Amino acid sequence: MANNTFVTQPSLPPLDDFIPYLREIWESKNLTNGGPFHQRLEAALCEYLGVEHIALFSNGTLGLVTALQALRVTGEVITTPYSFVATAHSLLWNGIKPVFVDVQADTLNLDPEKIEAAITPQTTAIMPVHCYGHPCDVDAIAKIADTYGLKVIYDAAHSFGVQTETGSVLRYGDLSVLSFHATKVFNTFEGGAIVCPDAKTKQRIDHLKNFGFVDEVTVVAPGINGKMNEVCASFGLLQLQGVDEAIRLRGEVDIRYRQGLESVRGIRCLGDAGERVKNYSYFPIMVGVEYGMSRDELYAKLRSEGIYGRRYFYPLITDFPMYRGLPSAARSNLPNAAKAAAEVICLPIYPSLEKDIQDKIISIIAA
């Protein structure tokens, strides 16, 4: 396994740089419950991301679950079948019925026209995903939400640092939820966050992620334990120092793939969605019928050479047993998502990916 290349590899700082942070935690004996590193990381992320308020979580999934609770979402929520299962699972954990609509063929993000057509009297919110870090059509979604009085919670797990022409993509919708999992552009080992529009919303979210406690004797909501600990928060502070360089190096990998694969018949590299600042979180290719072998055959060929790409996202969420019985899960309702699930391979991309390994990947695909 040591010689294999995987779809991602965490970018880690020198261990010696982390030791002073750990020593400070050991000396303070403050391990959790909104300690000093937690507070410092929230402030640093607000500044870096260009947002007003952020609430840290122990992972992104708990962030999604809590975001729905914070906005008191019920009934039906329109969402995408083309995502990691946590997107839809967060709805089921809140007793909400997911309603799946198709994605756009060029961005693989929710199609606004399909969103509007799926709205019923039971619809209370929309949960789009900025797929692969490429922004959704945020203006069209905002217009729909305003017209029908719906909440918008963005699953922004892939979108750390991404900006549109008007600033951070995280400023759209009622809430945006980030993941800081080890596979992400910015990671805190495990972690996540909710970007909040105002101090009052952040306060409610902070209560919900700490069992509903306001003080030692006052509980105001049926909260959960979603707090980020001090070790993860301190690691995040250290990671933040190197994230710009990590994104720059990921961008070089992205360019090298595009140049190497542009003339390969039947292989299409997914474009951006008009973002001004990218984070290069994934590098998906579409394996079309003109290529000469199926996506799964190419996937197996790469694995036989020690290259472990991922079929993100396959199967569709709607193919899993807890969802496939829903009327909106019918394949006929989701042609673009089904096509993408059958064609996409995400190739290895991370800052330390060696050029000779990347050239090997390109040559295997081009052969």
* Average pLDDT, rounded, for the chain: 97
Which is the catalytic residue, given 184, 209, 227, 278? 184
Q: Where are the domains of the chain?
A: 15-238, 243-366
Residue 355 annotated as catalytic: no
**What is the per-residue pLDDT for 12?**
93
In the CATH scheme, what architecture does the domain 243-366 have?
Alpha-Beta Complex (3.90)
Mean predicted confidence (pLDDT) in 58-72: 98
pLDDT in tens, 299-315: 999 999 999 999 999 99
Band of residue 242 on the pLDDT scale cut at 50, 70, 90: very high
pLDDT in tens, 309-349: 999 999 999 999 999 999 999 999 999 999 999 999 999 99
SS3 263: coil
**What is the per-residue pLDDT for 37?**
98
Mean predicted confidence (pLDDT) in 72-88: 98
CA-CA distance, 219 to 353, in Å (whole number)?
A: 49
**What is the per-residue pLDDT for 124?**
98
Mean predicted confidence (pLDDT) in 52-66: 98
**What is the per-residue pLDDT for 3?**
87
pLDDT in tens, 86-140: 999 999 999 999 999 999 999 999 999 999 999 999 999 999 999 999 999 999 9
Buried b (16+ CB within 10 A) or exposed e, 191-216: bbbbbbeeeebbebbbbbbbeebeee
Mean predicted confidence (pLDDT) in 210-236: 97
- Asked if residue 366 has pLDDT above 80, the reply is yes
**What is the per-residue pLDDT for 347?**
98
CA-CA distance, 42 to 193, in Å (whole number)?
A: 9
**What is the per-residue pLDDT for 1?**
57
CA-to-CA dists, residue 129 to 61, 82, 112, 136, 282, angstroms = 13, 9, 12, 7, 14
Mean predicted confidence (pLDDT) in 355-367: 97
Q: Which residue has the tokens 């970007």?
A: 195
The enclosing H or E element of 154 equals strand 151-155
User: Which segments within 180-292 are labelled E, that is strand?
Assistant: 192-196, 213-215, 218-219, 267-269, 284-287
Task: Report the percentage of the chain scoring pLDDT > 90.
Answer: 99
pTM (2 decimals)? 0.97
- Asked if residue 2 has pLDDT above 80, the reply is no
User: Per CATH, which fold does 15-238 belong to?
Assistant: Aspartate Aminotransferase; domain 2 (3.40.640)
Mean predicted confidence (pLDDT) in 24-48: 98
Tokens found for residue 130? 């900025």
SS3 137: coil
Question: How do 284-287 and 192-196 pair as beta strands?
Answer: unpaired
